[in-house]
Amino acid sequence: MKHNILVSDPISTDGLQSLLNHPDFNVDIKTDLDEQALINIIGDYEGLIVRSQTQVTQQVIKHASSLKVIARAGVGVDNIDIDAATLQGILVINAPDGNTISATEHSVAMILAMARNIPQAHASLKNKAWNRKAFKGVELYQKTLGVIGAGRIGIGVAQRLQSFGMNVLAYDPYLTEDKAQQLGVKLATIDEIAKQADFVTVHTPLTPKTKGIVNAEFFSKAKPTLQIINVARGGIIDEEALLHALNHNQIARAALDVFEHEPPTDSPLIDHEKIIVTPHLGASTVEAQEKVAVSVSEEIIDILEKGNVTHAVNAPKISFNDIDDITQQWIDIGELSGELAIQLLDGAPREIKVTFNGDVAKQETDLITRSIVKRILEQDLGDRVNIINAFALLNEQGVTRNVEKRASQGTFNNYIQVHLISDSEEVKIGATVIAGFGARIVRINNYSVDFKPNAYQLVSYHGDKPGIVGLTGQLLGEHHINIASMSLGRNEQGGQAMMVLSIDQPATEEIIEALYRLGGFNKIYGTTLSVK
Q: Which member of 3, 233, 370, 462 is catalytic?
A: 233
Amino acid at 197: A
Catalytic: 233? yes
- As averages over each run of 10 residues, the pLDDT of the chain (532 residues) reads 95 94 97 96 97 94 95 88 84 88 97 97 96 94 98 96 98 93 96 98 92 97 98 96 98 97 92 96 92 94 86 63 76 96 94 94 88 93 79 87 85 91 95 88 94 96 91 95 93 89 94 93 95 86
Q: Which member of 280, 370, 384, 419 is catalytic?
A: 280
Residue 409 is predicted with a pLDDT of: 59
Shortest CA distance to 199 belongs to which of 153, 157, 151, 240? 157
Strands of 172-261 (E only): list them.
Answer: 186-187, 199-202, 227-230, 253-256
Catalytic: 479? no
Q: Determine the Cα–Cα distance for residues 175 and 165; give it in Å rounded to an integer.
A: 22
Number of H helices, E strands in the chain: 17, 22
Helix axes 468-478, 509-518, angle to 10 degrees: 140
Residue 319 is predicted with a pLDDT of: 45
SS3 content of the chain, % helix, strand, coil (to 5): 35, 25, 40
Residue 267 · residue 246 · CB < 8 Å: no
Q: Determine the Cα–Cα distance for residues 12 and 288; give it in Å rounded to an integer.
A: 10
The distance from CA 242 to its chain's CA centroid, rounded to whole angstroms, is 21
Q: Which helix (H) or strand (E) holds 102?
A: helix 100-115
Amino acid at 523: K
Hey, how many other C-beta atoms are within 10 angstroms of the C-beta on 396?
14
Rg (CA), the chain: 26
Q: Which member of 35, 139, 177, 262 is catalytic?
A: 262
Residue 381 · residue 389 · CB < 8 Å: no
Is the previous residue joined to 263 through a cis bond, with omega within 30 degrees of 0? yes
Q: What's 263's DSSP letter?
A: S
Catalytic: 280? yes
pTM of the entire predicted model: 0.80
Greatest alpha-carbon span in the chain:
83
Residue 371 · residue 386 · CB < 8 Å: no
Strands of 126-282 (E only): list them.
Answer: 144-148, 167-171, 186-187, 199-202, 227-230, 253-256, 275-277
Shortest CA distance to 297 belongs to which of 27, 101, 52? 27
Residue 381 is predicted with a pLDDT of: 87
Q: What's 397's DSSP letter?
A: T
b (16+ CB within 10 A) / e for 347-372:
ebbbebbbbbbbebbeeebebbbbbb
Q: Determine the Cα–Cα distance for residues 299 and 136; give it in Å rounded to an integer.
A: 49
Shortest CA distance to 74 belongs to which of 318, 307, 234, 280? 280
Shortest CA distance to 64 belongs to which of 39, 91, 27? 39
Residue 201 is predicted with a pLDDT of: 98
Taking the alpha carbons of 108, 110, 115, 117 in that order, is the dihedral positive or negative? positive
Residue 308 is predicted with a pLDDT of: 80
